[in-house]
Amino acid sequence: MFEVLVFVYENYWRGDACPELPQLERKLSAVGFQADEIHQALTWLDGLNLAAQGTRAVPPEGTRALPTQSATSMRVFSVAEQDRLGAEALSFIAFLESAGVLPPAMREIVIDRAMAAGTDTLLLDDLKIIILMVYWSVGEEPDALVLDELCDDAQDRVAH
């Protein structure tokens, strides 16, 4: 599924530039992705679109914007979330939050989509793809340093 998501991200720079799901399904099939991979990715993307609707600056008519989080509140992860995400992914989410680049509403979408990924334990690289897709879906581009952190392989880095 994550290969399909990367393809969609690379080929449709903004979420609103992405074709409707039936047309996207045909394009993905023509590129050579397997039908079950496409179905899983499109189901996941549909859930992402639904989750992202409440975070847009002007919510769609008939819906409400998500309430803002208090500066003194704290997110407590359930046991299921801790098991699925693991310590490395939870630490990465905390890092992005503390850097001020992952607002609470987007964090909740990231966690929701991570839980919907259908894997027992989420790899950090897969979480980074999810975070990119959340930015993409709300129509925001992460700043260059965040984008570098999300796209760069830390194992290839050389310490100075």
Q: Note the pLDDT tens digit of each residue in 22-40.
A: 899 999 999 999 999 999 9
> Does pLDDT of 157 surpass 50?
no
* Maximum separation of any 2 CA atoms in the chain, in Å: 53
Residue-wise pLDDT for 47-64, tens only, equals: 998 888 866 545 556 555
CA atoms lying within 13 Å on the CB side of residue 59: 12
Sequence-distant contacts of 150-159: CB under 8 A, at least 24 apart: none
Query: pLDDT by residue (tens digit) across 129-145?
Result: 999 999 988 888 888 87
Q: What is the distance between the alpha carbons of residues 108 and 95, in angstroms, rounded to a whole number? A: 15
More confident residue, 126 or 20: 126
CA distance 121 to 113: 13
Q: Look at residues 99, 159, 105 and name the one whose alpha carbon lies nearest to residue 137.
A: 105
Closest CA to 48 of 127, 106, 7: 106
Q: What is the pTM of this model?
A: 0.81
Residue type, 45: L
C-beta pairs of 69-78 under 8 Å, 24+ apart in sequence: 69/104, 69/105, 75/104, 75/107, 77/111
Neighbours of 69 (CB within 10 A): 14
Q: Tell me the two tokens of residue 143.
A: 């700043």
Q: Looking at per-residue confidence, does 19 or 126 come out higher? A: 126
Residue 93 has pLDDT above 90, yes or no: yes
- Tell me which of 7 and 68 has the higher pLDDT: 7
